[in-house]
Structure 1
């Protein structure tokens, strides 16, 4: 059997993630008449396709690293637990948004949805900038043999810009989908991200040469000027 090429693996994963996202939102909503979900899915698909195409051309090693994802791919037991909790919370976020749309539990004005979509886009752009500046921005926590400290781009202002972008997208997702109840999943998912960050920092300070010095120069972990 022929081993799939990196591009085919990457595009299959992008397609699978898109199908899962759409299924979770529209099946739970019980209808395709869910314009907030169409807008959100469109943003996600556009961002995913752009990232896949861009980094397959510019940084295939990053794409290969990020194909290994999810709780089962983590080498640390603590990270497996954190990733499992995060996955459940994100799943709950999408399902609650769909159910909210179906049963009309809550709602958001179109202007709020539009602003939230903008915040999701900003979050995805920060993640993209993090990938450009750090080829070792894997989907799992660890230190690669040839890894060096990333200090360019958004890493000049915060130590974990990828998590900053993800947190913005997580927290804006409920409003982007027009659901207040979806924050019951999004807030714990963001908290799991913070716990993951702190656990990862301990590992980086222990195993990545130069990271402790970098952490002393760049004071803020996630929020510029705050934390």
Structure 2
């Protein structure tokens, strides 16, 4: 039976979460920088907002179930809870450090580098959008909807098992440069460690609860980077 979804309520919830996200981003950028004269941050926010609005419109019109899953952020697995908590702090540092870098002029990314970084960020978001189109069950948290969810083997899933994480790496790995900072790249190496633990635990759950996933792992050998990992 298809679950009925209150579209209006879902849209209000999405707008509320997105508005809070961008308010938080603004605070992370402009408070450490102690100025609104931070064009790199404005360009990044504009790019992010534009991509997210397009994605929201698509989900509301074509896949409200996906939007509902993306808005459910609470993790139930213990391993995921601590991984996400620490990873969130590290992601926060990626947003905070460039502001301090701007304020104290620790490093300087040239204009062309910032613009290129924003273009790469947009590409990463488009890749993320492609992943979501292929996999309507790509929830924000780690779970399996038994009896409904199926193994996805099309699109990027035909090449790697976790393309959504690759999209995240592209988007947020380039973010410090888009914000005009080299120092903001420092936390990335630690985030990859926590990403490894998240994927390992997720695959354990999928193997146990999602029919056909173990066979899929044998066919699609690489998690994120073909020929590497």
**Which category of TM-score, normalised to the shorter sequence, fits these structures?**
over 0.9
Partner of 1:94: 95
What secondary structure, in the 3-state scheme, does the structure 1 residue paired with 2:197 have?
helix
Cα deviation per residue 1:32-76 (whole Å; 9 max; x = unaligned)?
11111111111111111111111011110111111111xxx1111
State the Cα distance separating 1:94 from its structure 2 match: 0.8
Question: TM-score, normalized by length of structure 2?
Answer: 0.92
1:63 aligns to 2:64 (yes or no): no
What secondary structure, in the 3-state scheme, does the structure 1 residue paired with 2:187 have?
helix
State the Cα distance separating 1:216 from its structure 2 match: 1.1
What pairs up with 1:104-123 in 2 under 5 angstroms? 104-123=105-124
Q: Which runs of 5+ in 1 are unaligned?
A: none
1:167, 1:193 within 8 Å by CA — same for their partners in 2?
Answer: no
Partner of 1:222: 224
Q: Which runs of 5+ in 2 are unaligned?
A: 1-7
Number of aligned residue pairs: give it: 222
Partner of 1:157: 159
Partner of 1:134: 135
What pairs up with 1:43-62 in 2 under 5 angstroms? 43-62=47-66
Cα deviation per residue 1:87-146 (whole Å; 9 max; x = unaligned)?
100111111111110110111111221222122112111111111011110000111121
State the Cα distance separating 1:194 from its structure 2 match: 2.8
**Alpha-carbon distance between aligned partners in 1 of 2:201 and 2:113, rounded to the nearest angstrom:** 34
**Alpha-carbon distance between aligned partners in 2 of 1:135 and 1:206, rounded to the nearest angstrom:** 20
Partner of 2:144: 143
State the Cα distance separating 1:187 from its structure 2 match: 3.0
**Alpha-carbon distance between aligned partners in 2 of 1:137 and 1:209, rounded to the nearest angstrom:** 16
Question: TM-score, normalized by length of structure 1?
Answer: 0.93
1:7 aligns to 2:8 (yes or no): no
**Alpha-carbon distance between aligned partners in 1 of 2:75 and 2:207, rounded to the nearest angstrom:** 18
1:16 aligns to 2:20 (yes or no): yes
1:39 aligns to 2:43 (yes or no): yes
**Alpha-carbon distance between aligned partners in 1 of 2:196 and 2:22, rounded to the nearest angstrom:** 25
